[in-house]
Amino acid sequence: MERTFLAIKPDGVQRGFVGNIISRLESKGFTLVGLKLINVSRELAEQHYAVHKERPFFSSLIEFITSGPVVAMVWEGDGVVASARKMIGATNPLSAEPGTIRGDFGVDVGRNLIHGSDAIETAQNEIALWFKEEELVSWQPTM
């Protein structure tokens, strides 16, 4: 079954959107299989965002993601990688469609509330980076 990695960033936690974001994904029909609230280390942040290392905003991105608690999650379901990205919306919240998480709640590209894996292979790498195998719970909804 397909899985994706999502992280509610410090702005999403501090502004009180954890419940709303989880509720959207549950309501859509995806299954939560991993969940933890963590203070992200600089090492984890730099590994997670390694692809952006040469970008001018890299250091501010690392400062921000390590500035407060983050809710790290793994969600499961058919097509969950692409579908969650649609539900999150465009990287810049000002360009994100209404009805998406960023479109409904954000205005700042550096504080865009949530990260979602951009492809199945990326999701596999990000899940392995953020979660130990024993932290993931495999279960099937029966209702």
- Judged by CB under 6 A, which stretch of 17-25, 36-44, 104-112, 129-137 contacts ligand CMP? 104-112
Is 102 one of the binding residues for ligand CMP (CB under 6 A)? Answer: no
Asked about 115 being catalytic, the answer comes back as yes
Is 24 within any annotated ligand binding site?
A: no
Hey, what long-range contacts does 48-54 have (CB within 8 A, 24 or more apart)? 48/126, 48/129, 48/130
Query: Which pairing describes strands 114-116 and 70-76: parallel, antiparallel, or unpaired?
Result: unpaired
The residue among 1 and 95 lying less far from ligand CMP, judged by its C-beta, is 95
Query: Site map for ligand CMP, 62-91, x if CB under 6 A?
Result: -----------------------------x
Q: Which of 32, 61, 90, 120 binds ligand CMP (CB under 6 A)?
A: 61
Residue among 65, 115, 117, 130 flagged as catalytic: 115
The residue among 1 and 42 lying less far from ligand CMP, judged by its C-beta, is 42
Is 4 one of the binding residues for ligand CMP (CB under 6 A)? Answer: no
The residue among 22 and 61 lying less far from ligand CMP, judged by its C-beta, is 61
Rounded to the nearest angstrom, the gap between the alpha carbon of residue 42 and the centroid of all alpha carbons in its chain is 17
Residues at the site binding ligand CMP, with contacts judged by CB under 6 A: 52, 57, 61, 91, 109-110, 112, 115
